[in-house]
Amino acid sequence: MAEMQIGMVGLGKMGGNMAERLRRAGHDVVGYDRDPKTTDVASLEELGQRLQAPRVVWVMVPSGDPTRATIEELGEILEPGDILIDGGNSHYLDDQKHAEQLKAKNIGFIDVGVSGGVWGLKNGYALMVGGEPADVERLMPIFEALKPEGEDGFVHAGKVGAGHFAKMVHNGIEYGIMQSFAEGWELLDAADIVDDVPGTFKSWRTGTVIRSWLLDLAVRALDEDPDLSDLKGYAQDSGEGRWTIQAAIDHAVPLPAITAALYARFASRQPDSPAMKMVAALRNQFGGHAVTSSEGQHAKGADSPGADVVPPVEAQH
C-alpha cells in the first residue's frame, strides 16, 4: 500500500484516533486543531504550507456552521488538483453545495460517512464514500488504512452526497435498533418473572438472530450498572435521525420504526409530558379512569367518591 500525506483538521475523539490509525499504517499525517496541546500546526494556512501538492485534507469537525466555515477557509488555501474530504456528519445537500464551490476552483471534494466511534482506532472505521471515481481511487490507500480488515467496511456509495446519505440512513437504523433493545430491557425489568435481566441480555450474544455489536455494548453497560440507576432517562439526538425522516418524507418512503424511535427520544426530555396530561384527561373524561394530580396525589376517577364523570354511551369502555 502506497504511503500518502494527509492533513487532518479536527483532532477530537474521532479525528484524533483516525490520525493515529493512519500514522500506524505508515502515512504522514499533519494535524490541525484549535487545542494547542494536540495540533501540529498553528493555523489552516500553515497546514496548507506543510502539505505537498497535490494536497489531501480531511475535515473532521462538528457538522453545520463549523464544517461550512472550515471548508470555506480551506477553499481559499487549497489549489487546483487538491482534494478536500468531509468526514463529519454533514447533511448530504451541504455536500453538493461544497462540491460545486470547490469544483469552480478545480479542487476535488469527497464526502465520507464514518462509523466506528471510540473503538475505531482498534477495530477500524466503516466508511461510506461519495464522490468522483478518480478521486476515490486516488484516496484508496487512506481508506484501506482506516477501514476494518477484510472485504467489508468500505463502499463507494455513489456520487457526491451519497456517503453522508448512506451514513444518515445507517444512523436512522441505529435509532430503531437501540429503541428496540431499550424497550425490551424495560419490559424484562418491569416483569416479576425474570430475575436476571443482565444475564438474559448476555445470553442473547451467541446463537440468536439479534446478536450484534449494539447488543454487546448493551451487555457492557449492564455489567457496569445492572439496573442503569446511575443514568437519567434522557437521550439526545445528533440530528441525523431527523434528516433521515425528512428524506423519507421527500421520497414518500414509510419509516414508522425509525420515526417512532426519534419521537421516543423527544419524549425522554419531558419530565412531565404535556401530551400525556391530555391523554390522562381524555381517559378520565370518556371512561372515568383515575388520574394523578401534579402533586402526585390520586385524583378522582371511576372508583373515586368524588367522580362526576358521565361519559356518553358511545364513549364508554
φ and ψ of 197, to 5 deg: -70, -50
- Cα separation, 305 vs 228, in Å, equals 39
- Cα separation, 161 vs 100, in Å, equals 12
Which of the following is catalytic: 167, 183, 186, 277?
Answer: 167
Which of the following is catalytic: 20, 46, 144, 174?
Answer: 174
Whether 151 is a known active-site residue: answer no
Specify the residue for cell string 477484510: 150
Residue 7 and residue 56 in contact, taking contact as beta carbons nearer than 8 Å: yes
From the list 271, 1, 5, 311, the residue with the least C-alpha distance to 140 is: 1
- DSSP calls for 175-226: HHHHHHHHHHHHHHHHSSS-S-HHHHHHHTTTTSTT--HHHHHHHHHHHHST
Whether 73 is a known active-site residue: answer no
Identity of residue 136: V
From the list 36, 19, 37, the residue with the least C-alpha distance to 28 is: 19
Specify the residue for cell string 445507517: 170
From the list 23, 18, 70, the residue with the least C-alpha distance to 47 is: 70
Residues belonging to the chain: 317
The upper half-sphere exposure of residue 156, i.e. CA atoms within 13 Å in the direction of its Cβ, equals: 14
Active site residues: 167, 174
